[in-house]
Chains A and B, each alone.
Chain A
Amino acid sequence: MPLGQSEIALAIFIIKSNYGSSAPLRRMRQRKPRAGKRHFYWEILMTLKTTLKATTAAVLFLSGTTVFADGHATHPVTGEVLATDQSFTYRDLDESPSIDPGMAEDSAGGDILRDLFEGLMAQDGDGNLIPGVATGYTVSDDKLVYTFTLRDNAKWSNGEPVTAGDFEYAWKRAASPELASPYSWYIELMSLVNASEVIAGDKDPSELGVTATDDHTLVVTLTQPLPYFPQMVTHYTTFPVPQAVVEEFGADWTKPGNMVSNGAYVLTEHVPQEKLVRERNVNYWDNENTIIEKTTSLVINDENVALTRFLAGELDRTEVPSGQFPALEAEYPNDIMSVPNACSYYYTINMTETGNPALQDAGVRKALSMAVDRDVIVDNVLAGGQKAAYTFTHWATAGFETPDIAEASMTQADRNAEGVALMEAAGYGKDNPLTVDLIYNTSDAHKGIAIAISQMWKQTLGVETVLSNEEWQVFLETRGNQDYQIARAGWCADYTEASTFLDLMQSESGYNDAKYNNPEVDALLAHAKTADNPQADYTAVEQIIARDVPIIPIYHYSADKMLRHTVKGWAYDNFQQNWYSKDLYKVAGE
């Protein structure tokens, strides 16, 4: 997934204990004016007292938890005392473009869709594959045909059974030129038979390689073996869609009241740019194990406003504003988290003739890379949980072993010395300084990094950097047309396998903005697709990239969030931070 200005920020959340319509009034009467953090406990106390209702208790009872006489339920597995108010509220940076599984295109929309819908497979808190609507699958010997068996107790929120046909319909719909989904390429990425032809309009969607042979059997045919295919069917583009409802309401089917879904939650309220509320789906097959009653996402554009609202107790989860991690960690050690996030931040170098001629020299590119003191960037500029990057692939990618890159184990002084030597060899130095242009999309965060790096280049190599920022859309066009010398870039994993990053280095890749073309890399990447263990190929590719430097990896992202300590069950070890409300629960606060 690309990491744009909006998408970077789209990785942001907060939590809040939800109030009914009379909530502000209630708060005004009950809440004593006190400083930040204590409010929350006060509020919890008040919520405990006021919202303890028989209905809540009854639902908790039905959901398999034990309710004591005093109304406190406990978690069925861990035995922790649950909070009476099982609502989870978090912050979204922006309104998602769509909450139609076939049309959705951003990670915040994905968070919503994973609650509303359930795909064939799902992920657990560690990112492992677990059954979803499908109880399991078999794969043919040639690894081209997957047969999924669907559970017979899966139901839509209107009580209708979820059938294999619902998946077949959804996938064909997502690929169809008629729907014109911006994510139709995902079906192509899955390598379904005829996917490209269907998208291009050369074949009818009915010819797509997916067939429901009966209500509980879905047969998928691929054009090439994909070792990570089962992981791909946890993505929202592959979620089932209720044909009758879509046909009845058209584009309005995603509105509250119209929407029918098969996940643990149903959409109950949606005010664009304000909030989206989803509540327990009583028809969900595993409803009895769901603890969170209601999840609300609030659209809050400004991360500092969101933090204020988190501290005021209105949210259970939000982003840590950039640069504030150390201070917040010191003050709220139990309410903060930092986990790897599946994205890499890098600079791409234009290797075509429209770029800077000096940058055609691998030695110059390597020198620029060597002179970037990544530790200063991650420790001083970003100051979160990010890690210095010497490889393109994120260090935490599943099954990926970070290869030995010589400079990764050198000291910065050694790297600088080698950088200077390489620059001198290329004929540049303090007397004959190289001048390069660096562009980034307008953002304070990118600016801070660009300034730091241009200083490093200047001090170490004597390179003059002309910095310029461009508005996002202009930037994309400039970079996509190779109308730049060095440009900022970011990339997020679409699935947890190294090829999600390294495929960008393939010469034909549409996202290869460096226009890097190395037949050796292409061959290695092609081999990795079918290899039983592609690690050797990936290691080789990373080492070649480190030598040729079409890109300068800078850091690997982390997800730095405020998460209320009473919220448990978070998917900390899920590399893509794919979390499900049904796995969360709130324990009683102290």
Chain B
Amino acid sequence: MFSFVARRLAVAVPTLLILVIISFILMYAAPGGPFNSERPLPPEVLANIEAKYGLDQPFWKRIVDYIWGVVAHFDFGPSFKFKDRSVNDIIAQGFPVTLTYGAISFLVAIVVGISLGTAAAIRQNTWLDYLAVGISIGAQVLPNFVMAPILLLTFTLWLGWLPGGGWNGGEWPYLVMPVIALSTSYMASIARITRSSMLEVLNINFIRTAKAKGLPMRRVIWKHAMKPAMLPVLSYLGPAFVGMITGSVVIDSFFSTGGIGTFFVNSAFTRDYSVMMGITILVGALTIIFNLLVDVLYAWIDPKIRY
């Protein structure tokens, strides 16, 4: 196991490096630049700015300097657009926000999704099953950019229960709508995967044996069926978790949460190269880490898997 983890981590470094290089090339290949605007800057002004951000350097030097800055100083450079802050500042401010609402949404999605899916599987083809499937399909087809305004109209304008947006340091009234909007579609996917995988497991011989020896259903589910039924769910959860904690531009822009989701998407539009790279690396690194974590959990759950 240890050597497996070590091997995977060793592969992660070149993976990230390739990610950085490819993103870097793609980014500079895109037309336009961070300092374009409807009013083109006079050439001498542009020259000063390019010199300040090192854009007058040859491409290979820019990429080497960038990687060196990240590796040696953990410095992702200054933001090209937000002139008063560095990429480190932006991530330090935005990532805790997305991490908070993302992690809470993740917990909500898991708890509700697995419960719904399991209940539906146990009571297959009953009203409970149909209800659970109905809810999850409904939640799946309602995209969060539709959900967000509906929540806002309901809870802010009509009922007046919740503030319409903002973060305010993560106080709970500010969390409710982002969490609902972000978790529903994940919850729906988890419910569907859980249901089908649970149905499959419940038909396997060892479950029949467990039932035959007179174990109560609750014990059969918890003790015997849950672990194997979770395997497909688990492989979904790794990327889902990363997707949730790295933020959603929909959540950030509808609820003004100030997370990194908006920064990420806007950086692509405004060609804010350094912010785009910084967040790409963050998402890439988290993806690698959580995929590794899922693999390790797999081995723990399923004794058949060996490394």
The interface of chain A, by Cβ under 8 A from chain B, is 1-4, 6-7, 19, 21, 23-25, 27-28, 31-36, 39, 94-95, 97-100, 103, 105, 177, 180-182, 184-185, 188, 196, 199-201, 251-252, 254-255, 271-275, 298-302, 304-305, 308-309, 311-312, 314, 471-474, 476-478, 480, 489-491, 510-511
Q: Contacts of B38 on A, CB cut-off 8 Å?
A: 2-4, 7, 476, 489-491, 511
Given the contacts A24-B162, A273-B262, A474-B31, A510 and B256 also touching, CB distance less than 8 Å:
no
Q: Contacts of A300 on B, CB cut-off 8 Å?
A: 165, 256
Q: Which of A33, A185, A271, A510 contacts B167 (CB 8 A)?
A: A271
Pairs A-B, 6 closest by C-beta atoms: A473-B32, A2-B38, A274-B258, A24-B173, A2-B39, A301-B253
- How many Å from the CB of B94 to the closest CB on chain A? 7
Contact string against A for B residues 229-270, beta-carbon threshold 8 Å, 1 for contact and 0 otherwise? 000000000000000000000001110111100110010011
- How many Å from the CB of B228 to the closest CB on chain A? 44
Given the contacts A301-B253, A305-B164, A182 and B32 also touching, CB distance less than 8 Å:
no
For A7, A95, A273, which residue has the most chain B Cβ atoms within 10 angstroms?
A273
The reply to whether B44 and A474 contact each other, CB–CB distance below 8 Å, is no
A201 to B52, CA, bound (A): 13
The reply to whether B158 and A35 contact each other, CB–CB distance below 8 Å, is yes
A176 to B155, CA, bound (A): 51
A184 to B270, CA, bound (A): 20
The reply to whether A98 and B83 contact each other, CB–CB distance below 8 Å, is yes
Q: Contacts of B94 on A, CB cut-off 8 Å?
A: 272-273
The reply to whether B160 and A274 contact each other, CB–CB distance below 8 Å, is no
Size of interface on B: residues with Cβ below 8 Å to A:
62
B124 at the interface (CB under 8 A from A): no
- How many Å from the CB of A419 to the closest CB on chain B? 29
Q: Contacts of B161 on A, CB cut-off 8 Å?
A: 27-28, 31, 33
The reply to whether B84 and A24 contact each other, CB–CB distance below 8 Å, is no
Among residues of A, the one whose C-beta sits closest to the C-beta of B90 is A272
Q: Contacts of B30 on A, CB cut-off 8 Å?
A: 473-474
- How many Å from the CB of A339 to the closest CB on chain B? 22
The reply to whether A308 and B164 contact each other, CB–CB distance below 8 Å, is yes
The reply to whether A309 and B165 contact each other, CB–CB distance below 8 Å, is yes
B271 at the interface (CB under 8 A from A): yes
Given the contacts A180-B49, A271-B93, A308-B153, A99 and B31 also touching, CB distance less than 8 Å:
no
A25 to B160, CA, bound (A): 11
A500 to B114, CA, bound (A): 63
Q: Contacts of A188 on B, CB cut-off 8 Å?
A: 42
The reply to whether B39 and A272 contact each other, CB–CB distance below 8 Å, is no
The reply to whether B166 and A275 contact each other, CB–CB distance below 8 Å, is yes
List 7 A-B pairs, Cβ < 8 Å: A1-B39, A103-B84, A181-B45, A182-B41, A272-B90, A304-B149, A489-B38
Among residues of A, the one whose C-beta sits closest to the C-beta of B162 is A24
A4 to B37, CA, bound (A): 7
The reply to whether A25 and B173 contact each other, CB–CB distance below 8 Å, is yes
The reply to whether B44 and A24 contact each other, CB–CB distance below 8 Å, is no
A377 to B202, CA, bound (A): 64
B48 at the interface (CB under 8 A from A): yes
The reply to whether A27 and B82 contact each other, CB–CB distance below 8 Å, is no
Among residues of B, the one whose C-beta sits closest to the C-beta of A307 is B157
Q: Which of A314, A471, A477 contacts B269 (CB 8 A)?
A: A471
Q: Contacts of A298 on B, CB cut-off 8 Å?
A: 165-166, 256
Q: Which of B156, B166, B169, B253 contacts A308 (CB 8 A)?
A: B156
The reply to whether B83 and A100 contact each other, CB–CB distance below 8 Å, is yes
Given the contacts A100-B84, A305-B152, A511-B39, A180 and B164 also touching, CB distance less than 8 Å:
no
B15 at the interface (CB under 8 A from A): no
- How many Å from the CB of B202 to the closest CB on chain A? 44
The reply to whether A180 and B52 contact each other, CB–CB distance below 8 Å, is yes
Among residues of A, the one whose C-beta sits closest to the C-beta of B83 is A98
Among residues of A, the one whose C-beta sits closest to the C-beta of B169 is A21
B219 at the interface (CB under 8 A from A): no
Told that A98-B84, A180-B48, A199-B44 touch, could you supply 7 new A-B pairs with CB distance under 8 A?
A: A1-B39, A24-B163, A27-B161, A252-B84, A301-B262, A305-B152, A308-B157
Q: Contacts of B167 on A, CB cut-off 8 Å?
A: 271, 274
Q: Which of B37, B52, B254 contacts A305 (CB 8 A)?
A: B254
The reply to whether A305 and B165 contact each other, CB–CB distance below 8 Å, is yes
The reply to whether A182 and B254 contact each other, CB–CB distance below 8 Å, is no
Q: Contacts of B166 on A, CB cut-off 8 Å?
A: 274-275, 298
Among residues of B, the one whose C-beta sits closest to the C-beta of A304 is B149
Q: Which of B42, B48, B159, B163 contacts A23 (CB 8 A)?
A: B163
Contact string against A for B residues 128-156, beta-carbon threshold 8 Å, 1 for contact and 0 otherwise? 00000000000000000000110011001
B51 at the interface (CB under 8 A from A): yes
Among residues of A, the one whose C-beta sits closest to the C-beta of B46 is A182
A105 to B49, CA, bound (A): 14
The reply to whether A272 and B160 contact each other, CB–CB distance below 8 Å, is no
Q: Contacts of B262 on A, CB cut-off 8 Å?
A: 273, 301
Among residues of B, the one whose C-beta sits closest to the C-beta of A489 is B38
Among residues of B, the one whose C-beta sits closest to the C-beta of A42 is B160
The reply to whether B40 and A314 contact each other, CB–CB distance below 8 Å, is no
A471 to B51, CA, bound (A): 26
The reply to whether B173 and A103 contact each other, CB–CB distance below 8 Å, is no
Q: Contacts of A199 on B, CB cut-off 8 Å?
A: 42, 44-45, 48
The reply to whether A184 and B84 contact each other, CB–CB distance below 8 Å, is no
Q: Contacts of B254 on A, CB cut-off 8 Å?
A: 301-302, 305
Q: Contacts of B51 on A, CB cut-off 8 Å?
A: 177, 180
Q: Contacts of B211 on A, CB cut-off 8 Å?
A: none
A2 to B271, CA, bound (A): 18
B36 at the interface (CB under 8 A from A): yes
